[in-house]
Chains A and B, each alone.
Chain A
Amino acid sequence: MLRFLARRITFGVIVMWIVATVVFVLYFLAPNDVARTLAGREASPSTVEAIRHNLGLNRPLLTQYGSFLWKALHGNLGYSYINSVSVVTLIAQRIWVTISLVAGGAAIWLVLGVGAGVVSAIRPRSFADRATTGLALFFYSMPTFLLGEAFLLLLFFELHLAGLNWFPGSGYVSLAQSVGGWARHLILPWLTIALVTAATYTRLTRTSMLEVMGEDYIRTARAKGLTERRVTLRHGLRAALTPVVTQFGIDVGTLLGGAIVTENVFGLPGLGQLIITSILDQDLPTIIGLVLLASAFVVVANIVVDFLYAVLDPRVRLT
């Protein structure tokens, strides 16, 4: 167990190191004036000079590389000259928005997706199966921004015109400020991200369940005289969850790095919006920080998934 953890963390660190190096190469060795770019388009020559000095761009390349890594290792992701604040602070201000969005969305898509998958697997080729499959494909093939805009039009704009302000059209209220406000501001983004993602889970669960329900141990469970409900959920679904867990880890890990489209459609000040603004502003320290953070999320998600594997299936040994 400990060996597994040590190995996976080492591996994760290596991945992060590669990402960091690629980022360094791309942005620090590109044939342009890094200090100029970092400072943003409208910086004065003295600011540029100050940045050049701060970054130690006049030092040898390897020294720069080493100091970049060293700082990153200590959680110092640099300073955003455009926002006049450190990148870590910038991320810290916004990360909870993204976490709120992804956590709520994930809960919804997991329940919807897996639930629909189980329903359609119980009676393959039935009306319920075809209906859920059709719905799943409908939402799956719908671009996120389109679904988001559709929700805004129908559930915000039209309701607003009718005098019903149930769902706010944009903005974010933190959980600490008001629980109700937090949920109300997030419900449309949650639904958007959940419906677009749930289809994958429906298909995955359906396929996996169909396979599992044909297994001998399901026949044993029935022969034991268990209720069909118990056979399906405790015996069937439990065994069918493994591929779902993998997908879940990947999705959550990826989205935590920034749910770009959903955040922008609903005006949520999260990491996804930060990505867009920092790219538009050519705010390189922030971009670098976000790339590193996103890859960290993916690495951690993968380790967590492997852990969950072992929890779900006792035959899996963590070595």
Chain B
Amino acid sequence: MALLEVDDLRVSFSTPDGVLQAVRGVSFSVDPGQTLGVVGESGSGKSVSMQAILGLSQGARVSGSARFEGRDLVGMSAGELRRVRGAQIAMIFQDPLSSLHPHYRVGWQIMEMIRAHDKVAKKQARRRAVELLSLVGIPTPEQRVDDFPHQFSGGMRQRAMIAMALALNPKLLIADEPTTALDVTVQAQILELIQRLQKEFGTAVVMITHDLGIIADVADKVMVMYAGKPMEYADKRTMYYKAHHPYTVGLIESLPQQGAAGDRLRPIPGLPPSLLRVPTGCPFHPRCRYAMDRCVVDEPPMQEASGGAAHRSACWLPPDLVGLGPDVALRREQVAESGRDASAQTATVAQSQPGRR
């Protein structure tokens, strides 16, 4: 049975400018001990969807379901959800400096976490805090336990966050861009640490990132998100070698290739849409080079693609058109061409560039 099973999760916020639909129907599942990578640009809804599941997005309207060990987190009372948070599902965040409270000692913050869920004596909690700090590789933890966060380096702070997150041996760890704010060398150490502890404790991990390189390192399955929706869902190998969705293909192609010096990077043109006014049809169509007529009108559902087991993609291109490379691109181009009506094409251009009218 899946540890976490999310079905048609929707999250919206009312803002003075209208309703902002941050997440518009996300479904995925995480198995025990497995790592799910969630990739997307900023504003794609990847962080919001995870925070909404835990009731951490203030003022959000959340619908759908998120079954954790069979219990739906979305409908849960605040008190019940609080007992799940930290103890069963822990979270670490992007910026370890601002994520730790500047006025309290690191050890105190870990002890607070333990004592919020377990009735243990202060002394015992403190001993556990020292153990945890040593587990995540903080040197002389007996002394550093009494340090304040500002006395730690960036990497050490993230280690401390991880120590805190793992204090109660949670079944699921949600890591929200845990290495974005760190140096590259420290990044690798932190990822390695997460993986080592994951193996040791059998923790499942949801790794939220915009960095496909990190996904390649750690993930078992990958979900690509765009404009609050999943675009593609597959295991890691399929995603990298047999991607179906043009957005995924674009993401992979915009990565700098090793040994390909002198080649130009190929960025995806345009910007993600505003979530206050999501485009009709496929949300990616204004930026997609294979956009066809129906993409403007009909929103493609997640459907099976032939890259591998459980490979699903939200794109109208034929399900067997998977992979990278010039010949696949050519075939995609041909399909797209035949899906475009000359008169409708001008309409598409006009619609996607309203400023020209």
- Interface residues, chain A, with chain B CB atoms under 8 Å away: 215-217, 219-228, 230, 235, 238-239, 312-315
20 pairs, A vs B, C-beta closer than 8 Å: A216-B93, A216-B95, A216-B98, A219-B56, A220-B161, A223-B91, A224-B85, A225-B86, A225-B87, A225-B116, A225-B117, A226-B82, A226-B112, A227-B82, A235-B101, A239-B102, A312-B103, A313-B102, A314-B103, A315-B150
Given A217-B100, A313-B103, are A223 and B148 also a contact pair (CB < 8 Å)?
no
CA distance A239 to B148 in the complex (A): 14
Give the interface centre of B83, B86, B100 by most chain A CB atoms within 10 Å. Answer: B86
In the complex the two chains form, is B82's CB within 8 Å of A315's CB?
A: no
CA distance A224 to B90 in the complex (A): 7
- By a CB distance below 8 angstroms, the chain A residues around B112 are 224, 226
CA distance A238 to B112 in the complex (A): 15
- Closest A residue by C-beta to B82: A225
Interface size of B as a range: 20 to 34
In the complex the two chains form, is B99's CB within 8 Å of A219's CB?
A: yes
In the complex the two chains form, is A222's CB within 8 Å of B103's CB?
A: no
- By a CB distance below 8 angstroms, the chain B residues around A230 are 116
In the complex the two chains form, is A221's CB within 8 Å of B85's CB?
A: no
CA distance A223 to B113 in the complex (A): 9
- Closest A residue by C-beta to B79: A227
Question: When the two chains form the complex, which single residue of A220, A223, A227, A312 contacts B101, counting CB atoms closer than 8 Å?
Answer: A220
- Closest A residue by C-beta to B86: A225
A5: min CB distance to chain B, Å: 22
Given A217-B102, A314-B148, A315-B102, are A223 and B95 also a contact pair (CB < 8 Å)?
no
In the complex the two chains form, is B103's CB within 8 Å of A223's CB?
A: no
B4 at the interface (CB under 8 A from A): no
B78 at the interface (CB under 8 A from A): yes
B110: min CB distance to chain A, Å: 9
Give the interface centre of A219, A221, A224, A238 by most chain B CB atoms within 10 Å. Answer: A224
- By a CB distance below 8 angstroms, the chain A residues around B161 are 220
Question: When the two chains form the complex, which single residue of A217, A222, A314, A315 contacts B56, counting CB atoms closer than 8 Å?
Answer: A222
Question: When the two chains form the complex, which single residue of A216, A225, A315 contacts B85, counting CB atoms closer than 8 Å?
Answer: A225
A208: min CB distance to chain B, Å: 14
Question: When the two chains form the complex, which single residue of B84, B98, B116, B150 contacts A217, counting CB atoms closer than 8 Å?
Answer: B98
- By a CB distance below 8 angstroms, the chain A residues around B150 are 314-315
CA distance A216 to B54 in the complex (A): 15
B38 at the interface (CB under 8 A from A): no
CA distance A239 to B100 in the complex (A): 12
- By a CB distance below 8 angstroms, the chain B residues around A224 are 85-86, 112-113, 116, 164
In the complex the two chains form, is A238's CB within 8 Å of B103's CB?
A: yes
- By a CB distance below 8 angstroms, the chain A residues around B90 are 223
